[in-house]
Amino acid sequence: MGQEPAIALRGVCKEYRREQIKIPVLTDLKLTVDEGEFLALMGPSGSGKTTLLNLLAGLDRPTTGEVVVHGQDLAQMSEGQIARWRSRNVGFIFQLYNLIPVLTAFENVEMPLLLTSLSKRQRRENVRTALRVVGLEGREDHFPRQLSGGQEQRVAIARAIVTDPYLLVADEPTGDLDRQSAEEILELMEQLHREFQKTIVMVTHDPIAARRASRLLKLDKGKLVGDVIQAQEVAS
Amino acid sequence: MKYLVYVFRNIRRNPVRTLLTVASISICLFLMMLLLSYLTINTEVAHSLSDYNRLITMSSQGFTQPVPIANVATVAAMEGIATVGELTPEDKEHRDKKAVSPFSWYGGRYKDDSMPGSQFGIDPETIFAIMVEMKLPPDQLKAFRDDKTGCVIGKKLAKDKNLKIGDPYPLKGTVYEFNLDLTIRGIYDAPENRDNRMCLYHWAYLDEGLKRDFQGRAAGNAGTIYFKCKDAAAMPGLIKKIDDSFRNSSTPTKTQTEEAFAQMFSEMIGDLQTLIVAVGMAVVVSLICVCGVAMAMSMRERTTEVAVLKAIGFGRGLVLALVLVEAVIVSTLGGVVGALGTKLLFDQFDLGSLVPGFLPFFYVPWTTALFGLGLAVLIGFVSGVLPAWLAAQTSVIQGLRKVV
Amino acid sequence: MIPIKYNIRNLRRRWVTTTLTIIGTGLVVASSCILFGMVEGLQQSLRVSGDPNDLMVLRKGSTNETSSYFDLSKVVELATIPGIARDEKGRPLCAGELVNIPVCERANGSRANLIIRGMDPISPALRPNFKIIEGRTIEPGKGECLVAKPISGRFKGTRLGETLKCGERESYRVVGVFTAGGGAAESEVWVDRNDLARNTQRTGFVSDVQLRAASAADRDAIQKTIQTGTQFNLLAMKESDYYADQQITGMVLLVIGSVIAVLLSIGAMFAAANTMFAAVKSRTREIGTLRALGFSRFDVLLCFLGESILLCSLGGLLGWLATLPMSALTFGTNDFNSFAEKTIQFRFGPLVFAVAFAMTMAMGVFGGLFPAIRAIRLDVIKALREV
């Protein structure tokens, strides 16, 4: 650990086909992210932010090039392998939380653990811990619709960290929240980065959110146009 | 098992849809149970008759053709037929008499019956030894034997027509010119899968009437001959011996087991059976479509959710299995209500009283009910395959994009 | 009103569920149509069987031919009653016939009673469009038989040139195949009356007499003579009435068909409702937009109800047309009146259409009503915000 970078992209190209026409989204991308970095990804719509995020998270494959995460070349893995890999190594946070409406907060957080061989008791402990980290003790039995947006996103974060993944990816995690809740969520992510040394990649449109990250990448038309290591702003 | 919470929550997610799907399956299965039970009962009942070692002799030209009453004695004289005493030891009086009886269809109408009922002219001294499963209290049996114009009716007939012992039971003949002025002397009780709507009267009463009032036209006809063998092994030999002995008479006979005789009746419905099976299959395919639609609609509404699950690391196989299990559970629910519910319903409610003359009894056999349940499971499985496959194929990226 | 084109486009857009729903409802409609096609076929066969001036003479108290019998001598007497129509050779159209229904084996090995009719030489003239389509007519006393076309091949030994055996004593060589305008005779085998009487020990008896009066007035007079006079003391029924009384089998089929139609319609109704509820749900925002554009609640109700009816109509049409090829099929089942095999020609007629139409409407209207009501009760503002 620590020797190799958390994420290494080499010559990554990604293009989509839409009715015979090739649309390049990412072109010849090169990127190295060290373990424990909190990366913010900014750029205008269509710049390839989400595509990059999907590649890192193993949801998508590059057209050409190499995506190595935690020493694994994702392009070499089969669909099934990559799904298993995701379940152990990646935690997802979405803009619209994407909680399962018919499951309680507890059950939502427990979902990724079902894929492990943990016993019911161990699962319960892990879920409780994750909910405590995000500050939602006592809300275990609430359904998503009984929670506020900020709380829903916390549940989603608990779900993302419950398996103690290597990498957290967040796609505009504050995009649908009011300022206050957004602040709290960013706080929480920062805490995860600080206290648990998680590697976090966050796509955002919000410059305030981006300022919380330890490193800021800017994408435009599929190319990296900015890469700044920034001193983290401490919440006032 | 740990995924079941999620599956059950999904089933409850859209209660209206689940309810409609379950209702659709149960209604259609209710119909299937009605139709299939009719077919299975026939076979099942015919099969159950083989335990009784009974044979039936009819005219080789069909059961509408007469069998001379003298044949009854010829049959009775043969080796291998049980005696009344062997079958019903309490009946001392007719102990040595052979268990042989004429069984002659009368087809009379009671009051304003639209359909002729099942009435049979029999020998009161032997019939209840032959039909051992039909129970008649000894005092009623004695009263019946002592009254030449007496008759015994089944408990369900008594219930349908509100008849009790001592009531007159006059019948207008359709086959015979002679009307029967019967008085009920007993009410028999037979198992549920036997005809509890028959009326049995003294064969001699009709015959004497025909001889007295109609110059003996159509008299002397035993209709068919029912008798009981000592054991099953003797039956094939006996069948041959009886038919051989009448082969060169003016009225050749055809003797067969009661099972084969009953089977013959159920075979008569012919193509209707094929049709019922065809309708059943069409209903199954239709239900597969209906359930498939419901499941596909559910899955489409959950596209994003499936994408999230897949992102979290749920593999294709697991997603496929979750959808299939959900589909199977929903349709099994329909099966439980439709198949087992129908069985319970007809255990309580006697359909036969609604259509007198057609269905002496009706029930849903366990085999049919379980078959229905099995069909429901199958329908769920097959209908779930396409939606499950589509869900498993869901592209995570496409699915997640839908929301943004 | 919202144009129907909108509905068609929507059905096309969700074509998978549309197709599956159409197949589902189509099969349901077809299942019921089959039974009603048989009912209609049976009714048709009984309708053509009875000429309005024909009388059927039975023993008093019997309800059909198989339980009727009286002396042959009465046939001769009956033929002398004035007012009976005559054929071109001057023979009175009065046929004494003997009926037997032995158990015979079908070609597939199952057993059924088959009507063997001992015919009078004049019998064919009393049947509508009696025609020998293969072979020739029988010669009396030679143990020959004519087989109705639907029966030929259905039972063992009923093809031209084969020998039909029933019971120990009866065997008849098939010398001809006939049709009788789709009437009741098309379920029968015809033999020489004397052959049959000899084989069944009924020499000197007939089961019934069929006769044709020269006019309706003659018919009523003849009927009166036969029934009231001491001379005959027999039952004379108008043939059409006789066949009307033979409807039990038709009733059975009608009941089975109705039960199937009603239950399956309800089942399909639920299925249609399911599809339409989903349609309303997935188009919530669209409904809001339509309302915002100024369409009334009633327009929206009509729109979804119309879509439901359109969807079910496609299924209904498919199911109805799917039974069209069945017209070529003949079904054989037990006649609950005579306990003999009755062949029924499936008839793709108005009854089948009526059933298909009624089922389609029931499914479309009741299946669409509640989803449509849900659609009009949507709050416009909320609906517009729905994702």
What gap in Å lies between CA B321 and CA B328, rounded to an integer?
10
* Nearest Cα residue to C92 out of C123, C70, C68, C117: C123
More confident residue, B358 or C38: C38
Angle among Cα B377, B381, B384 to the nearest 5 degrees reads 135
Contacts of B106 in chain C (CB under 8 A): none
Same domain (yes/no): B20, B37:
yes
Sequence spans of domains, chain C: 4-47+248-385, 61-232
Q: For C63-103, what is each residue's pLDDT tens digit?
A: 778 778 888 898 988 999 999 999 888 899 999 999 988 88
Residue A110 lies in a domain: yes
* Predicted ipTM beyond 0.90: no
Assign residue A139 the CATH number of its domain: 3.40.50.300
Which pLDDT value is given to residue C384?
A: 82
| Interchain proximity C27–B173, CB inside 8 Å | no
Contact call for residues B186 and B165 (beta carbons, < 8 A): yes
> Is A83 in CB contact (< 8 Å) with chain B?
yes
A225 touches chain B (CB under 8 A): no
- The answer to whether the CB of A216 falls within 8 A of the CB of A200 is no
Specify the amino acid at residue A141: D
Taking residue C290's Cβ as centre, other Cβ atoms within 10 Å add up to 20
- Residue B194 belongs to some domain of the structure: yes
Q: Which domain holds residue A219?
A: 35-61+74-229
Write down which chains contact chain C via at least 3 CB pairs under 8 A: B
Say whether residue B78 is in contact with chain C using an 8 A CB cutoff: no
Is B312 at the interface with chain A, CB within 8 A? yes
Q: Does C369 touch chain B (CB under 8 A)?
A: no
Helix (H, G, I), strand (E, B) or coil at C11: helix
The three-state secondary structure class of C58 is strand
In whole angstroms, what is the distance from residue B260 CA to residue B265 CA?
Answer: 9
- Which residues 261-320 of B are in CB contact (within 8 Å) with C? 264, 267-272, 275, 278-279, 282-283, 285-287, 289-290, 292-294, 296-297, 300-301
Residue C106 DSSP one-character state: B
Measure in Å the smallest separation between the Cα of A34 and chain B Cα atoms.
23
Query: Does the residue B240 lie in any domain?
Result: no
Statement to judge: residues B79 and B205 lie in one domain: yes
- pTM here is 0.86
Chain B residues with CB-CB distance to A98 below 8 A: 304-305, 308, 400, 403
Structure-block tokens of residue B18:
């689940």
Return the amino acid letter for A234. Answer: V
Residue A25 in any domain: the answer is no
Do B37 and B62 lie in one domain? The reply is no
B196 and B290 belong to one structural domain: no
Give the number of domains in chain A.
Answer: 1
**Exposed/middle/buried for B164, CB within 10 Å: 0-12, 13-18, 19+?**
exposed
Mean pLDDT over A87-100 rounds to 91
Judged on CB neighbours under 10 Å (0-12, 13-18, 19+), C204 is exposed
Which residues make beta-bridge pairs with A14? A26
Q: Establish if B243 belongs to a structural domain.
A: no
Are B125 and B176 found together in one domain? yes
Q: To probe the interface with B, which of C11, C31, C116 has the most B CB atoms within 10 Å?
A: C31
How many C-beta atoms surround the C-beta of residue A42 within 10 A?
22
Q: Do B285 and B335 lie in a common domain?
A: yes
Asked whether residue B136 falls in the same domain as residue B40, the answer is no
DSSP state of B81: B
Q: For residue C73, give both structure tokens.
A: 């001598």
At residue C228 the predicted structure's pLDDT band, cuts being 50, 70 and 90, is confident
Same domain, B85 and B223: yes
**CA B49 to centroid of chain Cα atoms:** 13
- The residue behind tokens 């089929």 is C253
**Of the residues B206, B230, B254, which one is the last residue of a structural domain?**
B230
Do C30 and B282 make contact, defined as CB atoms within 8 angstroms?
yes
Q: What is the mean pLDDT of residues C158-169?
A: 88
Cα gap C145→C163, rounded to integer Å: 9
Residues 282-311, chain B, touching A (beta carbon < 8 A): 304-305, 308-311
DSSP state of C88: T
Q: What confidence category does residue C166 fall into, taking pLDDT thresholds of 50, 70 and 90?
A: confident
Q: How far is C-alpha A61 from the chain's CA centre?
A: 17
Q: Are residues B61 and C102, on separate chains, in Cβ contact within 8 Å?
A: yes
Q: Which of A96, A102, A103 sits opposite B403 (nearest CB)?
A: A96
- Give me the pLDDT at residue C387, please: 60
User: Chain A partners of B312 at a C-beta cutoff of 8 Å?
Assistant: 86-87, 92, 111-112, 115, 159
Q: Are residues B209 and B340 in the same domain?
A: no
Under DSSP, is residue C191 helix (H, G, I), strand (E, B) or coil? strand
Count how many domains chain B has: 2
Interface contact flag, A120 B2, Cβ < 8 Å: yes
Nearest CB to A102 within list B13, B313, B396: B13
Say whether both B16 and B111 belong to one domain.
no
Question: Among B268, B337, B362, B402, which would you mutate to test the C interface (most chain C Cβ atoms within 10 Å of its Cβ)?
Answer: B268
Non-local CB neighbours of B348 within 8 Å, separated by 6+ positions? none
Kindly report the nearest CA distance between residue A231 and chain B, in angstroms. Answer: 31
A24 within domain boundaries: no
d(CA B372, CA B358): 24
Regarding whether B90 and B203 lie in a shared domain, the answer is yes
Q: What mean pLDDT is predicted for residues C303-331?
A: 92
Q: Which residues of B touch A101 (CB under 8 A)?
A: 13
Among C17, C34, C336, whose Cβ lies nearest the Cβ of B275? C34
CA distance B12 to A101: 11
Q: How much is the pLDDT for A140?
A: 92
User: Helix (H, G, I), strand (E, B), or coil: what is residue C127?
Assistant: coil
- Please state whether beta strands C111-113 and C330-334 pair in parallel, antiparallel, or not at all (unpaired): unpaired
> What are C260-270's pLDDT values in tens digits?
889 999 999 99
User: What is the per-residue DSSP string for chain A?
Assistant: --SS-SEEEEEEEEEEEETTEEEEEEEEEEEEE-TT-EEEEE--TTSSHHHHHHHHTTSS--SEEEEEETTEEGGGS-HHHHHHHHHHHEEEE-TT----TTS-HHHHHHGGGGGS---HHHHHHHHHHHHHHTT-TT-TT--GGGS-HHHHHHHHHHHHHTT--SEEEEESTTTTS-HHHHHHHHHHHHHHHHHH--EEEEE-S-HHHHHTSSEEEEEETTEEEEEEE-PPPPP-
Contacts of A102 in chain B (CB under 8 A): 6, 9-10, 12-13
Number of Cβ atoms within 10 Å of the Cβ of C139: 10
- Whether chain B has a CB inside 8 Å of the CB on A60: the answer is yes
A79, A115, A145: best to mutate for the B interface, most B CBs within 10 A:
A115
Report the distance separating Cα B143 and Cα B162, nearest Å.
Answer: 20
Which residues 162-191 on chain C approach chain B with CB closer than 8 angstroms?
166-170
> Quick check: is A90 in a domain?
yes
Q: Is residue B75 domain-shared with residue B106, that is, in the same domain?
A: yes
In a domain, B253, yes or no: no
A84/B3 touch (CB, cutoff 8 Å), yes or no? no
The pLDDT value given to residue C327: 85
Domain boundary among B180, B210, B230: B230
Residue C27 near residue C317 (C-beta atoms within 8 A): no
Please check whether residue B14 touches A, CB under 8 A.
no
Chain B residues 245-264 with a CB less than 8 Å from chain C: 247, 250-252, 254, 264
The candidate with the shortest Cα–Cα distance to C219, out of C99, C55, C93, C383, is C55
CB atoms within 10 A of CB A76: 11
Euclidean distance between CA atoms C140 and B206, whole angstroms: 37
Instruction: Establish if B211 belongs to a structural domain.
Output: yes
Chain C hits for B175, Cβ within 8 Å: 62, 67
Comparing CA positions, the residue from A220, A185, A184 lying closest to residue A202 is A185
* Nearest-10 crossing angle of helices B15-48, B258-267: 130
The verdict on a CB contact (< 8 Å) between B64 and C69 is no
Q: Chain A: residue nearest B403 by CA?
A: A96
**Mean pLDDT, range C23-32, rounded to an integer:** 92
End-to-end Cα distance, chain C: 25
How far is it, in rounded angstroms, from Cα C138 to Cα C143? 8
CA separation for the pair C319, C356 (Å, rounded): 8
Any domain includes A27 = no
Digitized pLDDT (tens) for each residue of chain B, 404 residues in all: 789 999 999 999 999 999 999 999 999 999 999 999 988 988 888 888 888 999 999 988 778 788 999 999 999 999 899 999 888 888 888 888 999 999 999 988 898 887 788 999 999 999 999 999 999 999 999 999 999 999 999 999 999 899 999 999 999 988 888 899 999 999 999 998 889 999 999 999 999 999 998 887 788 999 999 999 998 888 999 999 999 999 888 888 999 999 999 888 888 888 888 888 999 999 999 999 999 999 999 998 899 999 999 999 999 999 999 999 999 999 999 999 999 999 999 998 888 777 766 677 889 999 999 999 999 999 999 999 999 999 998 888 888 875 43
d(C-alpha C70, C-alpha C57), whole Å = 10
Which residues fall within 8 angstroms of residue A200, CB to CB, at 6 or more apart? A37, A38, A39, A167, A168, A169, A170, A189, A192, A193, A213
Q: What range defines the domain where residue B291 resides? A: 4-46+269-401
pLDDT tens digits along C367-380: 999 999 999 888 88
Residue B357 has a pLDDT of 64
Using alpha carbons, select from C101, C100, C102, C80 the residue that is nearest to residue C91.
Answer: C80
Question: Is A190 a member of any domain?
Answer: yes
- Tell me whether B13 touches chain A (CB under 8 Å): yes
Q: Which two tokens stand for residue A224?
A: 């990296």
Evaluate whether residue A47 is within a structural domain: yes
Residue C188 pairs in a beta bridge with: C115
Whether the CA torsion A40, A44, A45, A47 is positive or negative: it is: negative
